[in-house]
Protein backbone atom coordinates (compact mmCIF):
# COMPACT_ATOMS: atom_id res chain seq x y z
CA UNK A 1 0.00 0.00 0.00
CA UNK A 2 1.45 3.37 -1.06
CA UNK A 3 1.12 6.18 1.49
CA UNK A 4 0.04 9.58 0.31
CA UNK A 5 2.85 12.15 0.33
CA UNK A 6 1.23 14.07 3.23
CA UNK A 7 1.05 10.91 5.35
CA UNK A 8 4.82 10.34 5.37
CA UNK A 9 7.33 11.95 7.68
CA UNK A 10 9.43 14.48 5.79
CA UNK A 11 12.44 16.58 6.78
CA UNK A 12 12.67 20.30 5.99
CA UNK A 13 16.20 21.24 4.89
CA UNK A 14 17.81 24.55 3.96
CA UNK A 15 20.66 25.29 1.57
CA UNK A 16 23.73 26.64 3.38
CA UNK A 17 25.08 30.00 2.11
CA UNK A 18 27.53 29.80 -0.79
CA UNK A 19 30.20 31.76 1.07
CA UNK A 20 33.86 30.76 1.51
CA UNK A 21 33.66 31.85 5.18
CA UNK A 22 30.83 29.38 5.91
CA UNK A 23 31.46 25.74 6.71
CA UNK A 24 30.07 23.37 4.07
CA UNK A 25 28.99 26.08 1.59
CA UNK A 26 26.03 25.35 -0.68
CA UNK A 27 25.23 22.05 1.09
CA UNK A 28 21.82 20.94 2.41
CA UNK A 29 21.44 21.21 6.19
CA UNK A 30 18.93 21.22 9.00
CA UNK A 31 17.88 24.80 9.83
CA UNK A 32 19.72 26.23 12.80
CA UNK A 33 22.11 28.85 14.04
CA UNK A 34 23.64 30.51 17.04
CA UNK A 35 21.90 31.58 20.25
CA UNK A 36 21.36 35.33 20.45
CA UNK A 37 21.71 36.15 24.13
CA UNK A 38 19.88 39.47 23.62
CA UNK A 39 16.82 37.90 21.92
CA UNK A 40 16.56 34.28 23.08
CA UNK A 41 15.14 33.61 26.55
CA UNK A 42 16.05 29.91 26.35
CA UNK A 43 17.00 27.18 23.87
CA UNK A 44 13.40 26.63 22.76
CA UNK A 45 12.88 30.30 21.90
CA UNK A 46 16.13 30.18 19.92
CA UNK A 47 14.94 27.08 18.02
CA UNK A 48 11.60 28.74 17.19
CA UNK A 49 13.34 31.95 16.08
CA UNK A 50 15.84 30.13 13.85
CA UNK A 51 13.11 27.93 12.32
CA UNK A 52 11.09 31.04 11.38
CA UNK A 53 14.17 32.98 10.23
CA UNK A 54 15.62 30.20 8.05
CA UNK A 55 12.41 28.71 6.63
CA UNK A 56 9.55 31.17 7.16
CA UNK A 57 7.70 28.43 9.06
CA UNK A 58 6.12 28.67 12.51
CA UNK A 59 5.43 25.49 14.45
CA UNK A 60 2.73 24.91 17.06
CA UNK A 61 4.78 22.01 18.48
CA UNK A 62 8.48 21.79 19.30
CA UNK A 63 10.30 19.12 21.31
CA UNK A 64 13.98 18.75 22.21
CA UNK A 65 15.56 15.53 20.93
CA UNK A 66 19.00 15.87 22.52
CA UNK A 67 22.22 17.83 22.85
CA UNK A 68 25.66 17.13 21.45
CA UNK A 69 28.91 19.05 21.58
CA UNK A 70 32.57 18.85 20.82
CA UNK A 71 35.62 20.29 19.15
CA UNK A 72 35.06 18.50 15.84
CA UNK A 73 31.38 19.36 15.27
CA UNK A 74 32.12 22.66 13.49
CA UNK A 75 35.33 23.68 11.69
CA UNK A 76 35.01 27.15 13.28
CA UNK A 77 35.63 25.75 16.77
CA UNK A 78 34.03 24.04 19.76
CA UNK A 79 30.27 24.05 19.54
CA UNK A 80 27.21 22.66 21.28
CA UNK A 81 24.19 21.55 19.27
CA UNK A 82 20.71 21.29 20.74
CA UNK A 83 18.37 19.42 18.41
CA UNK A 84 14.62 19.99 18.31
CA UNK A 85 11.94 18.63 16.05
CA UNK A 86 8.88 20.57 15.01
CA UNK A 87 5.62 19.32 13.61
CA UNK A 88 4.40 21.38 10.66
CA UNK A 89 1.93 20.90 7.83
CA UNK A 90 3.51 19.64 4.61
CA UNK A 91 1.77 22.39 2.64
Residue 18, domain extent? 5-87
Q: Phi and psi at residue 15, in whole multiples of 5°?
A: -90, 125
Please give the tally of structural domains in the chain: 1
Note the pTM of the prediction, 2 decimals. Answer: 0.77
CATH at 29: 3.90.79.10
pLDDT tens-digit map of 43-74? 999 999 999 999 999 998 999 999 999 998 88
- Other beta carbons within 10 angstroms of residue 48's beta carbon come to 16
Tell me what the mean pLDDT of segment 1-14 comes to: 73
Amino acid sequence: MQLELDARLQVLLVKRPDDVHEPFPNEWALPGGFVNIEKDLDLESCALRKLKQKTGVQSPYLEQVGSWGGIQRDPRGWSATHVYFALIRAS
